[in-house]
């Protein structure tokens, strides 16, 4: 039997990167009632670089009580929620690189800011101490700071980017409790591993968006294999 976790990045109050994706999750739950999802939520999502998806202000969770209520009402048997940084990107510079070049001190400050926003939104009991950096990019200092801040699990990439923009320089091994993804359709197709960590996105503009077709494909993939459904902790 193989372990499987399904994670979804960028779940947010953004109208095009929202909890609408949970409708697809529910279709999978109807077929496989024990399936587990990890939702990664930026606590103040702010896209600035693409006009068609940019918002004028950051989407701070505390300003969206209906969204927060949706998170609180998710069935605990099927869903857990983790941190996906603060803005996700660097406003007017990059939509993905918030943790890419952060030094230790600035990383700690950002984590505190994330924690306080979650607390302000009344979601402290909902968020687990799990962090996935945007686009998996995270400086070694940011990893060290995550460990000292109290994050218990990091969700990272096993790959280094050829341009050097993703290289943990061994700090991921020092952190120890790391779950590496190995499937992310369509770039990394559905494949079987001893621990199958599948990543999708909630943002509808992304080719990795968990749309109807990808949901149907995933349902078939699960049915064709023998899986134990897991949250992040059980993927370690």
Q: What are phi and psi of 216, to 5 degrees?
A: -60, -40
Sign of the CA dihedral with 123 first, then 72, 11, and 153 last? positive
For residue 172 the two structure tokens come to 């991921």
Q: Helices 212-223 and 21-31: crossing angle, nearest 10°? A: 20
Beta-bridge partner residues of 79:
37
**pTM for this predicted structure:** 0.98
Q: What is the CATH code of the structural domain delimited by 2-235?
A: 3.20.20.370
Sign of the CA dihedral with 102 first, then 105, 108, and 113 last? negative
Q: Which residues contact 108 (CB under 8 A, 6 or more apart)?
A: 145, 148, 149
User: The tokens 């926003």 sit on which residue?
Assistant: 117
In whole angstroms, give the CA distance from residue 120 to residue 24.
29
Q: What is the largest CA-CA distance in the chain?
A: 47
In whole angstroms, give the CA distance from residue 199 to residue 69.
24
User: The tokens 């690189």 sit on which residue?
Assistant: 97
**Pairing between strand 44-45 and 59-60?**
antiparallel
Report domain extents, the chain.
2-235
Per-residue pLDDT 10s for the chain (236 aa) are 999 999 999 999 999 999 999 999 999 999 999 999 999 999 999 999 999 999 999 999 999 999 999 999 999 999 999 999 999 999 999 999 999 999 999 999 999 999 999 999 999 999 999 999 999 999 999 999 999 999 999 999 999 887 777 999 999 999 999 999 999 999 999 999 999 999 999 999 999 999 999 999 999 999 999 999 999 999 99
Q: What are phi and psi of 47, to 5 degrees?
A: -95, 130
For residue 156 the two structure tokens come to 């990272």
């Amino acid at each position: 039997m193989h372990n499987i976790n399904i994670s979804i990045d960028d779940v947010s109050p953004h109208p095009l990167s929202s909890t609408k994706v949970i409708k697809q999750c529910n279709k999978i739950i109807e077929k496989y009632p024990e399936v587990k999802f990890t939702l990664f939520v930026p606590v103040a999502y702010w896209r600035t670089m693409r006009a068609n998806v940019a918002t004028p202000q950051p989407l701070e969770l505390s300003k969206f009580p209906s969204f927060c209520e949706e998170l609180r009402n998710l069935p605990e048997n099927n869903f857990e929620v983790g941190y996906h940084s603060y803005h996700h990107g660097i406003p007017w510079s990059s939509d993905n690189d918030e943790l890419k070049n952060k030094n230790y001190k600035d990383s700690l400050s950002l984590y505190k800011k994330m924690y306080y926003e979650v607390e302000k939104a009344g979601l402290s009991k909902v968020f687990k101490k799990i962090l996935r950096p945007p686009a998996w990019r995270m400086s070694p200092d940011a990893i060290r700071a995550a460990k000292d801040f109290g994050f218990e699990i990091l969700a990272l990439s096993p790959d280094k980017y050829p341009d050097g923009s993703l290289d943990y320089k061994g700090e991921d091994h020092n952190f120890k409790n790391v779950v590496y993804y190995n499937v992310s359709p369509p770039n990394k197709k559905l494949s079987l591993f001893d621990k199958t960590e599948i990543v999708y996105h909630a943002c509808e503009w992304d080719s990795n968006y968990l749309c109807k077709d990808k949901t149907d494909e995933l349902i078939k993939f699960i049915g064709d294999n023998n899986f134990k459904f897991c949250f992040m902790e059980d993927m370690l």
